[in-house]
Structure formats: structure tokens, C-alpha cells
Amino acid sequence: MSGKIPRSPDEDYTRDMAQVRQKYIQEKTGVELRNVGSYSFDPAILKGNIENFFGVSQVPIGLAGPLLVNGEHARGEFYVPLATTEGTLVASYNRGMKLVRESGGVKTTVTDDAMQRAPVFIFDDARAAREFGTWIDLNFTDIKANAEKSTSIGKLRNIEKYQMGKIMFLRFNFTTGDAAGQNMVGKATYFACQWIMQRNQNVRRHALSGNIDTDKKHSLMNTLHSRGKRVTAEVVIPRDLLHDTVRMYPEHAIQMRWVATMGSFMAGSNNNGQHSANGITALFIATGQDVANVAESSSALVYAELTPEMDYYYSITIPSLIVAAYGGGTGLATQRECMEMLGCAGKGNAAKFAEIVAATVICGELSLGAAIMAGDWVSSHEKMGRNR
Amino acid sequence: MSGKIPRSPDEDYTRDMAQVRQKYIQEKTGVELRNVGSYSFDPAILKGNIENFFGVSQVPIGLAGPLLVNGEHARGEFYVPLATTEGTLVASYNRGMKLVRESGGVKTTVTDDAMQRAPVFIFDDARAAREFGTWIDLNFTDIKANAEKSTSIGKLRNIEKYQMGKIMFLRFNFTTGDAAGQNMVGKATYFACQWIMQRNQNVRRHALSGNIDTDKKHSLMNTLHSRGKRVTAEVVIPRDLLHDTVRMYPEHAIQMRWVATMGSFMAGSNNNGQHSANGITALFIATGQDVANVAESSSALVYAELTPEMDYYYSITIPSLIVAAYGGGTGLATQRECMEMLGCAGKGNAAKFAEIVAATVICGELSLGAAIMAGDWVSSHEKMGRNR
Amino acid sequence: MSGKIPRSPDEDYTRDMAQVRQKYIQEKTGVELRNVGSYSFDPAILKGNIENFFGVSQVPIGLAGPLLVNGEHARGEFYVPLATTEGTLVASYNRGMKLVRESGGVKTTVTDDAMQRAPVFIFDDARAAREFGTWIDLNFTDIKANAEKSTSIGKLRNIEKYQMGKIMFLRFNFTTGDAAGQNMVGKATYFACQWIMQRNQNVRRHALSGNIDTDKKHSLMNTLHSRGKRVTAEVVIPRDLLHDTVRMYPEHAIQMRWVATMGSFMAGSNNNGQHSANGITALFIATGQDVANVAESSSALVYAELTPEMDYYYSITIPSLIVAAYGGGTGLATQRECMEMLGCAGKGNAAKFAEIVAATVICGELSLGAAIMAGDWVSSHEKMGRNR
Amino acid sequence: MSGKIPRSPDEDYTRDMAQVRQKYIQEKTGVELRNVGSYSFDPAILKGNIENFFGVSQVPIGLAGPLLVNGEHARGEFYVPLATTEGTLVASYNRGMKLVRESGGVKTTVTDDAMQRAPVFIFDDARAAREFGTWIDLNFTDIKANAEKSTSIGKLRNIEKYQMGKIMFLRFNFTTGDAAGQNMVGKATYFACQWIMQRNQNVRRHALSGNIDTDKKHSLMNTLHSRGKRVTAEVVIPRDLLHDTVRMYPEHAIQMRWVATMGSFMAGSNNNGQHSANGITALFIATGQDVANVAESSSALVYAELTPEMDYYYSITIPSLIVAAYGGGTGLATQRECMEMLGCAGKGNAAKFAEIVAATVICGELSLGAAIMAGDWVSSHEKMGRNR
């Protein structure tokens, strides 16, 4: 039954070719793609974003907001598009946004920003690997020059070195402007490695990734050292407002956060918060971010305190939030409209978008936290979501 | 500038209400949602899936396949819809599917299956917490009966106990049929906890989640104990075929896998493979799975061996793959068509779908692994993807 | 220069043979072992504890206490021998014991108790590995019978199963009475595996340990599932006493513990406390425990709370404390005397000893915590310890 | 029954005072300390090493060797003193040393060397914490000058920064010559922090340790970034020698190492080797190292390969080996003799000693690995050790 998926070398990104493939699918599987085949844009825009295009997934988007942000890049009220199929998600984030608004808004701060590629080099012995490390330091200027040949935007900031026996893992850190930059830094590192391999005769084997990047995978490395944006959202909920909302005073809420933190610690989790992945994923799908990065970007660090005024200080730090303001899927039809809704379309807006993501995430944390604490978590799912 | 998002208590899931909100957005942000507002279904179907619906994200889907699967539930050739905006992703998975087809297909096996909710109970001291653990064991039958009152499908399999000081974290394991089951088990556990709280007078504080579930978050807990499906894909690539493809013999490929595994080990990663999140995310978006579960489902364990015939045995185990064959977004317009393409729409198909996901993932691993080893990883991105 | 270490097949454990080896060392290295050669016991007692005996390390022991324990097994005041060469350690623990005494003592509780050996079995494919898991469950009675053939004390409690692809890791849990039991369970598991290998034809390869035990190594596995004793120590420090001692109220102390916990979380540590390893090591050396187990036993989970009376509740849980009341080095000359000091020499005392260890550890935590918080940590080292 | 441990402010480190305390113990516990009270040195040497001294633990030492080392600092044959009470340990390491000797010896390399103290600073918000990070960089020279005021040996190499929300964790890295240096760097960091607190008005709270050091605790932080010495041992076992010894060819041995590595990976272990803690602990007790550091120093990374000649390349990297050549307990009576046996007593020898530790560890790994693979692990314990 096997067959070859139809392709057109010259004009593959057309409605016609999409239909050819739809028919091919119908022939092979018997399924008529009435909805998948319905889309509002010219497939020509998809070149560089996908291969064998045959239709779209229509993911419903709900509106949450206004979200009040006191960021360094994002300032004011934002209406947040959340693309999801999970009932109660939008409502929950929306409820959190109300609570935050009534508390004076979210303060957001990007504290670090870099994208990595981590090649690996294998030597005859540990001494050769160590000498290579020294050699890398001495030749940093040349390595940087070679890396940056392939990109006008990416800048090689520094190279971290992690040695295990005769293996040297390097971790190249680039700034990548308003692009997410994985491909950019992959290419730049490739050129740097080409130069290294030509000049250094001691390398026995080499690969462009030794898995400590760690691309599309969670790692403590990235939680510690950041990947993409490291961004914090902070909010202070007035004591009485908290109690009105969740029938709980800050002291109790803080204690429950520590209990949950110990649960996360003992479970070996990458996140002592609650469901940051929900908001991040919904925003990523809506705005054309690389959604697979949820693997890394779902890591989060929550910290809460009682303020001197006895109010509830709450913060979340997302240590490896990978976002772009242009490139990738951000320029596609619906995705660009959603980026525009946030005032984040195009260059100069990556940090602003990162702040909005973090601000959104903290609203969802507060909302679910409130629900769990107030004991109505199940019942709110009951009302709004299907019983799955 | 703040305002209230328009809602209609009675008829909120209509094209009209979506347009009202689109206009509201345009008024607030100046953005006209031409593409977001274009969708092919009746919003009435979205009830229970989203709130404040105002349009869709059109995520392009590419076709990969045929994928040859020798599963226990999935058997034969499948055409796989991958929704993504990342150039080269579909091509890379497709290339891996070809390699796997020429190798005789992927063997897939679901080895465990359960969904969790993990409530926490706090006591006066560690002794009381320990006695509570004993009490839970003694009362398991009643707890199970109360948990299962709220669901005809979910069955409470067992309760794990993790004590830290005076805190007892329980982890309820349910089978959930062909649903993903997070809400189902949340509700069932809620009813079980209600019963527990009425009967046991020693609990001082309680919350429905103590964060060891760990829902929407990676954890070693779930890598060890599974969450959703635990599924393995295995393939044997003939020696010469591997060499023709990547100019490398199995011995070398296996060694490079160990190097990468040590990179993952040292980086504290949840995955010693390469980019399982890519295929999982693309399939999840296409088929209406809960994409935020990529946080957990992106964990993966890769193991390779030289066979006695000197061929390349390669396997990947996804320990916490959360999928559904019905419920959630799987029944929506485009999503259901994609599930139908795979013959996975509706009850009885969750394990089949899990096998197809795992089979898809292994193809992507082999393809990217081949690219990295053959040194053409960057150049393939160059040709097909934009330079981001 | 190489030579063969002198041995006497028949009478190797004598003062004479020790001297022969001392002379051999002097000949080879020029070092005269005046102090190493000085010991107070008959080497005959060392059979089964060491090979090539030639002398002793004299590790100084300091006295701390009295330690007031309200355990289930240890009750009353104890004088604790701490063998260490680190200045301030004994003084610090002693200071903590005073604080705890003034607070009414430590409550200690053993909440779990098991020792493991974790063999690994490799199959043709994941399905065969999964079927093996079922086979293990079905044959548990026979496996248990075979395991227990080799020991009158060890009892096989249950077998955990962790599958990765075609590999099945089993984790045998034994109760081992008052022995630490690593060798006992190693032998018992060996006999069980012999039986398994004879009966099950599907195993392709097998090893007695697949490294998930994890013996002499930290692991989250053991933090979650216990190894040896899981023991908690709890204390309530009156508000004013805490303030008198560290010039800090409980609220502040609790907040600093959470900050430190986040430090541990972010660092990927196995311990959110401070220096449990110090007390454990010193007690282990003094009492003849297997000191290498500090690798596992140094894991610790700290949790603190404000009591309703506004006092400072503080607890530490040691999840994998490996101790023995007899066997190993506990019966040797000085070691037995130290066990007797604690009323823990011989069978029936393992849980009591575990409680004393935990009670000691919590005193050290409180003392160092107080020092760090009160800012005199460095200065106390200055006064008592050398400046290293 | 409580009482005060006798002390003499002026002449506490005397045989008389030790006897006074022995009598006190006898009075309180009924135990006569015949052996504990027997030691061969003048207690006056203990000042700065212990408080409330009342006797010694006599830990038996066995001899292993000769150990053939091809290090950069340690060269030639060494006779290794191993202080332990665990039967078969010395024999097992000795057997490994023979195998290594026959293979031409161990190559050892120290690849990094630093000691840390990690203070924590809390601010009003994340922005203030971030600005503080910049301020630290700008003031590095002054901070360094202030840190180094308190020590003639310790040099502040660099300061790492890890931000979580409004909390900034700093990690001060010092070189400490031939001392282990924990106290040295604690004091130096204290002085640096005093200066920081005087100059920077934005810090709201501060503690000398925020637990990311991570002192006396395992952490992935230290596995990645080293603590103390990072040292690798490498050996090549000829193919036939390996087979003669363990009836297994290198290919098989390597595969079993990967299986064990996956076991470690899945268990969340800090070590994919076997029992490095055994050799390290035994050497530490014999030579007066701070044995509690086994918590950190037991972390290990094993990597093996087939050489082009089809021999067995095996390596172990100990990323956080904390050792001293002087200071601490290394100068005490028996301890100094053992350091002298290894030619490591006194300044200039810390790296040499680290190499000997790593060389010893690899012998134990090979020996136990061989035993497990050859299936005689249990039986060798049977013959030599007691059945515990």
C-alpha cells in the first residue's frame, strides 16, 4: 500500500498542491479533510516553515485580559490570545488577570538572554581535552569571528566548558536579537567548529551537539544558566484582597507554597509552581512560537514572601523561555495578527513579548493556586470543562 | 483603558459572539483579525473546550509517511499529520520514516498506563502522618469506591505514599480508558479526599495537589513511575543501510549515543535523546491533544545496541506520554479529521495513538541523529528553513 | 620496585602479620608507622572486616550531649560520640543539643525501613521485558522463597519494576532486622536471580546490579523510596528562646529556610538542609557503621513551620539512612564501646540508633542555621578551628 | 539526669581531661571505654580539630597495592592505606590494582580546582537583584581585595551569579593551594560580604550561604562546575587480559556500562559508576581528610570505549573531590603517617593526592565491575566478609 507523498519541486507551496495531497490522503486513508483544507492564507507564505503542506489545524483562541503589566518593555494593558482546547484554561487565566489588575499589575523583568549550541569534542585522553579547553580560551576571538560570519544578528557572548574525562563539551552562548535563534546559533556554531577542526589537530571525534544544549529538552543546566530569556514576574496581592478571593491569608498561602515546593523537590521536578506550561503553550500556539520549546520553557521557579505590610508577595521566574518577535511562525497569517494584538510583531519586541508571557503565567499560577487552596478546583472544571 | 471582555451568558459559542469580541479587540488594540476570524466550524462545538472564543490559530500541517508500524494496537502504514511552523521538521521526520520503512518498520509497545492526582495531607507530627499511611491502606476499598462514584470509566488502581516529616503526599493512580483523564482523576480524587477528610480526624491541612503528580511539569517521579502511557518504540537498522545513510557503522553510532547520554546526565536533562518534543508537539497540535503536556511527555529514554548480526538496534521509551482518543480537543473539527487519518478517532484507540506517537518520535530521532553524525544538520536547515 | 603484599593464609589476623606488613611498608616507602601500629585489640576480631590489616587510623572522638530524645525507640538523654577531625563540629552539635534540650527534646520517628538490591534483565524486545514483569508478579512466592533460603533474617517485602525499552530493572526490597543488610540482600537476590534465570528462558542478559539500587551513590530513587531507615526528627523551639539564641523570630527563620530550599532546588541538590553529613559521618566513624554510605545517607529534607503558638517547628527527614546495630564494624573494639554508650549495641537496637542519628543531625542543623543567621558562623570557626 | 560535660578552659587537650570525660561517660552510661581511651599521641595536637575530646575510634587499615600511577603529580607505585570495616573492600581494590598494573597503570589528570562559598542576597524586586549582579561585576577588584585580606593562600578566581526572582545567589570560586579550603573561603567570603553590605544599600537581607555551594551535600551544580578537584583516571585494559579476568570482551563490558548508566539516569543518581564512595571514604579516614565530604566527593562520571585496537578504555571523572595535603586532620598522628606512605604529607601535594584517590577509585570500579559481570560478586563477599 506504501506510496510516495506528492511533491512539486517548483511550486509546492500552492493551494493546488495542498489539494493534491489532501486527495492523496483521502485515497490512502478514506478521510475527507473538509476542515483541515480550510484556511485563509496563500500557502506561498509557508516556504521555510513546513514541508508537504496539506492544510491547517484550527486551534480555537480565547481572550483573556486586560492584563496589566508594569514591565521594562511591556507597559500597560494587554489583551492576551490563548489558543487551547482545554476547558477552563482561558477562564482561569482571566480570573488571575483580574486579581492581578486589582493588585496594581505585574512587574516583569528580563534578567538574562542567550541562545546556545553545545558541540562536543573527544580526545585521546583527559589531558588533551583539558589543553583543548585552554586553546579555546586563547582562540576565542577567532572562534567568535568565524561563528559570526554566518549571521549579522547573532553575537557569540562566551563559551562555557564542561569536561568529562577525555570529552570536552562546549556551550556556545549567543545573543540573537529578537529571533529565538536556535537555527542561527546552530549555523554559527557549525562554522566555528569547522574552523576549530581545521586548526586543532588533537580532536579525535566531534559532533555539533553533545546534548548539553539541551535543545527541546528540559535540563537543570538551562534552569541554572538560562536558555532564551530568563524572566521574572512579580506581584503583591493585598492581604484582604487575597482573603476575599481565596478565603486564606498570605501566611497560609506561603506555607502551602513551601509544601508544594517540597513535593516538587522530592519528585525531582523542574518546576515548583503549578501549570506554567498551560499559559505558555496557549500563547505559543496563538503567536507562532516554536511550541516544542515548551519542553524547556515549562521550567519555573516560584518564590513567595510576606511583605512588611503583611501582604502577599508572589513571583515566578521562567529560566529558559524561548521566544521570538519575528522569524519562525510569528509572521504567518493568524500568528502575526495575535502578535499584533500584543504590540509585539517584528523586531525590537522579543523582550516585550517575554514579559507578557511571564505576566500571563503568573496570573494562571495565582488563579489555580487560589482554586486549589479554596477547594473549588474540581468544581470549576466541572462547570466549564467537559468531564474527561 | 481597561474594559470588560464581552460575554453572552446564553449564547456565547456563536459566530456572532466571536465577532463581537473581534471588534472589541480591534477597538482596544487596532488590529483587524482577518485570518484569526476565519474558521470552518460552528463555534457551538467549542463548549467545554475554551472560553471567550474569538477565532482560531491556523497552524499549517505537513504530511509525513507512510510510517510502518508493527505495534500491538497500531499495525500497518500510517500517514502522519504534523502541525508545526518549524522548517525542516516534517522533512526530517519523513526522512526518518523512510529509513525505518526500509528497515522493516517500528515495533511499538505500551508497557504501562495510568493517570495521577496527588493530594497532600499535613499532620501534627511524623507519627500521625505514618499512621495515616497505614489507615489509607486499610481503607483502600472505601476510598476506591468513593473515588469511582464520580466516573464510570476511571478506576483507582493503587495509591502510592511518599512521606516527608509530618506531611504525607499520596499519589492516586487511575486507569482512564481512552481519555487522557486529568480532569477525571482530579474529580475522583476530590471525592475520595472528601471522604477521607470526613473520616480521618488527624489531618490538619489538606490540598488536592501537593505537586508530586506532577501535572504539566516534568519530574523524575513520572519518568520512573509513568504518567499516561509508557511506550517504547524499537527498530533495527541493517548495518549497510545505516552506513549508506549516515556514512557511519553502528558501533560508532552507539558510541556517539553514549557520549550524548553522558551530556544529558551531566546537564541534568530529562531526555538522553534528541528532539522528541518536536514530533510530539506537532502531532499533539494536529490531533487536539493537550499540548501543554509536552512539559511531561517530552521526557525520553534512548537505548541502543549492536545486534549479534552487527546491525543497529535503537529504541526510545517515552515514560509519560499523555494522550487521548476522545475528549479534550480530539473531537473538534480539524483535530478529528487528523485523528481519523490515523484511524484513532474515538474510544478504543488511545493505545493505538500512543504507539503511533512513539513510532513517529523514533523516526525523528534517527533522522536528526543521522544528520548530526553525517555533519549535514546545519546545511539541511539552511536549504529548507529560514535562517532565524 | 613492585612487590607482593605479605600474607599468611592461615594466621593473617595477628599482631605479627600486621608488623610484617608495617615493615614491608617501611621498606617500600621509608615511613615508620609508630602511631598506625598502635592499637588496643587482638587483630583476630577483624576477620571478615578487612584484608591486609596493618594498623589503625586513630580518629579523635569528642563528646556532645546530653541529647534529649523523645523517640519511639530512643527515649531519654544520650551522650553522643562524634569522631571527626573538623574543628567546631562537636561544639556546634553540642550547642544545638543544648537548644533542643531547652526546647523539650527531639521527637524522632522511623517511617520506613528496607534494604535493596536491584538486578537488571535484558530481553529481545520491550514486549518480552513487559511479560517478564508479569511473570515476576506471578512467581513472587517462589522468588521470595528462593531469596530467603540464604538468610534467616532478611525477608523479601516486595519487588518494584522499572522498565526502559527491552530492559527490566527490578528493585528487591528486604527487611533486614538490625543489620544494615547490603550483603545479606545481595546474596538473597543472587539466589532469587539464579532461580529466575533457570526458570525464565526469555532473559538474554542479566547482572546482579543495574545501578538503580543505588548502592553507595545518591539517587532521587532512594530519596523517594527510602533505603535503610527513613527517619524524621522534629523539634519545636519556643519563640523567645529562638530569638534569644539567634536574634531572629521564627517567621524570618522560616523564610530563610525557603530561600535556602530554592537554592538547593536550583542547584540540583539532594538536601535542602545544611550539613547533615557532618553529624552522620562523625557518628558512623565512631560506631563502626559503613561510612561510605554517607553517599546515600547525606540526603535530607528539611521542613519548617510557624506553630499556632507562633513558635518554630523544624523537622528533618533522612530518607536513606543506612545503619546497623550489629554486624559490620559495630562489634569492633572502640566501635562497640561507642554503641554501648548509646545503649545501641546488638540486636534490637537499629531503629533506636537511627533515631539517635536523626536527633543528632537536627541539632547540628539548628546550630549551624542559627550561626549563619546570626552572622557568627565564620567567627566561631575562627575561634575554635584552624584557619584552613 | 542531665549534666554538663566536663571542660577545662586552660588545659582541655590533655590525657587527664580525656580521662575525666571518660569517667563522666562511665558514670552517665555505665560503659568503660577501655579501647576508646587507648591512643598513642599527645592530645595537645588536637586543638583546632575537635572539642570535648575523650578518646579515639580505632579504624582498621588494610594495605592495597602497589598502585601504578602515571599522573602529572603522582608518578610510580603507591601503597594505599584503606581504613574500613567492610570485608572484601581492601581485597577488591587490591585485585583492581593488579589488573591495572598489568595494563600499564592509571593515567590521572586534574582538570579543574576551586573551592566555593555561595552567599545569598535578597532585594526589593528582580530588577534590583539584576542591577546588583552588574554592580558585583563592576566591583570585582574591590571584592577580591577584601576577600583576600583574610588569607594569604586563597585567591578569588571569579564569582558566578544565579538569579531567581528578587534573590541573587552568588558563588565565589577560590583557589586554595593545598588546603581543602572550606573554612578559608568561608572567611574570605564573609569579609567580601561585609564590604558589599557596607557599600550596597539595596540589599534587604543576606546570608553567608544560600545553599548553592553546596557544602556537604551532593548537587548537580558541583558535578557541572566542580568543587575541590575535578580529576579523571583513565586506563586501557588489553582485550585478552579483560577476557581472562572477567570472561567478557570489551564490547560486552561497554554495553553493560551503558545499561548501568541508564539505570543511574532513570534513578536520578549522581554517579553512573559503582562504588567510588568505598575507596574515597577508606582513603579519607586513613589520611585525615574531612570524611563528611563524601557527600559531594562520591559523585562520579564513568565513560568507556572500545579502542581502535579493540581494547577496553575505561575512565572515571570525580567532579567534586575535596582533599587537602595539610590542615584539617591530615597532620594528626596516624593520619600523617598514612599521608607520608603516599608521599603526600604537606604543602605541594594536594593535586598528587587527588590523583592517587582517583587512581584508587578506578581500580575499585574495575574490580567490582568485573565481579558483577563475572557473576562472582556475592560469592566473594561470602568468602571474605561476614554475612550481614
What rounded mean pLDDT belongs to chain B? 94
- What is d(CA B282, CA C379) in angstroms, rounded to the nearest whole number? 59
End-to-end CA distance of chain A: 36
Cell of A374: 479554596
What average pLDDT does this structure show over D340-369? 95
Cell of C360: 543528632
**C307 Cβ under 8 Å from any chain A Cβ:** no
Quick check: B86 and A292 CB within 8 A?
yes
Q: Do C87 and D50 touch, CB atoms closer than 8 A?
A: yes
Q: Do B80 and B342 touch, CB atoms closer than 8 A?
A: yes
Catalytic residue among C12, C178, C290, C355: C290
Given this model, what pLDDT does residue D146 score? 97
- Look at residue D370 and tell me whether its pLDDT is greater than 60: yes
- What is d(CA B96, CA B245) in angstroms, rounded to the nearest whole number? 10
Residues of chain D neighbouring A73 (CB-CB closer than 8 A): none
How much is the pTM? 0.96
Sign of the dihedral through C-alpha A220, A221, A222, A225: positive
* pLDDT tens sequence across B30-41: 999 999 999 999
* φ/ψ (deg, to 5) at A162: -130, 110
pLDDT band at D323 (very low <50, low <70, confident <90, very high): very high
Q: Do B278 and B269 touch, CB atoms closer than 8 A?
A: no
Domains of chain B: 10-58 (no CATH), 62-112+222-383 (3.90.770.10), 119-207 (3.30.70.420)
Given this model, what pLDDT does residue D369 score? 74
* pLDDT tens sequence across A135-147: 999 999 999 999 9
pLDDT band at D377 (very low <50, low <70, confident <90, very high): very low
Closest CA to B357 of B328, B320, B329, B305: B320
Given this model, what pLDDT does residue C386 score? 41
User: What amino acid occupies position B379?
Assistant: S
Three-class DSSP category at B229: strand
Q: What kind and span of H or E run contains C294?
A: helix C294-297
Query: Which residues of D are tagged catalytic?
Result: 86, 290, 381
pLDDT band at C1 (very low <50, low <70, confident <90, very high): very low
- Look at residue B245 and tell me whether its pLDDT is greater than 90: no
How far is CA D144 from each of CA A33, B279, D179, rounded to the nearest angstrom?
A: 68, 49, 19
Residue labelled with grid coordinates 592495597 = D64
* pLDDT tens sequence across A88-118: 999 999 999 999 999 999 999 999 999 999 9
- What is d(CA C83, CA C60) in angstroms, rounded to the nearest whole number? 5
- What is d(CA A154, CA A239) in angstroms, rounded to the nearest whole number? 46
pLDDT band at B246 (very low <50, low <70, confident <90, very high): confident
pLDDT top residue among B347 and D247: B347
- Look at residue A217 and tell me whether its pLDDT is greater than 70: yes
- Look at residue A153 and tell me whether its pLDDT is greater than 70: yes
Given this model, what pLDDT does residue B248 score? 85
- What is d(CA C236, CA A360) in angstroms, rounded to the nearest whole number? 40
pLDDT band at B384 (very low <50, low <70, confident <90, very high): low
D265 min Cα distance to partner chain B (Å):
6
What average pLDDT does this structure show over B8-24? 95
Residues of chain D neighbouring A167 (CB-CB closer than 8 A): 303
Q: Do C65 and C356 touch, CB atoms closer than 8 A?
A: no
> Per mean pLDDT, which range of C244-248, C370-374, D332-336 is the poorest?
C370-374
pLDDT band at B387 (very low <50, low <70, confident <90, very high): very low
Q: What kind and span of H or E run contains C379?
A: helix C377-384
Closest CA to A211 of B262, B380, B365: B262
DSSP string, A9-61: SSS-SSHHHHHHHHHHHHHHH----TTTT--SS-GGGGTTT-SSEEEEEEEEE
- Look at residue D380 and tell me whether its pLDDT is greater than 90: no
Given this model, what pLDDT does residue A386 score? 40
Cell of A10: 517548483
The secondary structure of chain D, three-state, reads CCCCCCCCCCCCCCHHHHHHHHHHHHHHHCCCCCCCCCCCCCHHHHCCCCCCEEEEEEEEEEEEEEEEEECCCCEEEEEEEEECCCCCHHHHHHHHHHHHHHCCCEEEEEEEEEEEECCEEECCCHHHHHHHHHHHHHCHHHHHHHHHCCCCCCEEEEEEEEEECCEEEEEEEEECCCCCCHHHHHHHHHHHHHHHHHHCCCCCEEECCCCCCCCCCCEHHHHHHCCEEEEEEEEEECHHHHHHHHCCCHHHHHHHHHHHHHHHHHHCECECCCCHHHHHHHHHHHHCCCHHHHHHHCCEEEEEEECCCCCEEEEEEEEEECCCCCCCCCCCHHHHHHHHHCCCCCCCCHHHHHHHHHHHHHHHHHHHHHHHHHCCHHHHHHHHCCCC
Quick check: B258 and D261 CB within 8 A?
yes
Given this model, what pLDDT does residue C312 score? 96
Quick check: A59 and B59 CB within 8 A?
yes
* pLDDT tens sequence across A118-132: 999 999 999 999 999
Residue labelled with grid coordinates 527510602 = C226
End-to-end CA distance of chain D: 36
Q: Do D146 and D192 touch, CB atoms closer than 8 A?
A: yes
- Look at residue C336 and tell me whether its pLDDT is greater than 90: yes
What average pLDDT does this structure show over A161-171? 98
The half-sphere exposure of A85 on its side-chain side, counting CA atoms within 13 A, is 27
- What is d(CA D163, CA D158) in angstroms, rounded to the nearest whole number? 16
Percent of chain A with pLDDT over 70: 95
Cell of A275: 501549570
User: What amino acid occupies position C321?
Assistant: L
Given this model, what pLDDT does residue B373 score? 65
Q: Nearest chain C residue to D279 by CA: give it.
A: C292
Contact partners for chain D, using 3 or more CB pairs closer than 8 A, are A, B, C
Give, to the nearest 10 degrees, the angle between helix D126-138 and helix D140-148: 70
* pLDDT tens sequence across B120-174: 999 999 999 999 999 999 999 999 999 999 999 999 999 999 999 999 999 999 9
Closest CA to B172 of B117, B210, B112: B117
pLDDT band at C10 (very low <50, low <70, confident <90, very high): confident
- Look at residue A383 and tell me whether its pLDDT is greater than 80: no
Which of B107, B111, B301 minimises the CB distance to C130? Answer: B111
Quick check: C274 and D211 CB within 8 A?
yes
DSSP label of C275: -
> Per mean pLDDT, which range of A105-109, A383-387, B104-108, C136-140 is the poorest?
A383-387
Given this model, what pLDDT does residue A375 score? 58
Given this model, what pLDDT does residue B382 score? 52
Q: Do A363 and A388 touch, CB atoms closer than 8 A?
A: no
How far is residue D339 CA from its own chain's centroid?
Answer: 15
Quick check: D126 and A109 CB within 8 A?
yes
Q: Do B350 and B325 touch, CB atoms closer than 8 A?
A: yes
Using alpha carbons only, give the angle C280, C282, C285 rounded to the nearest 5 degrees. 105
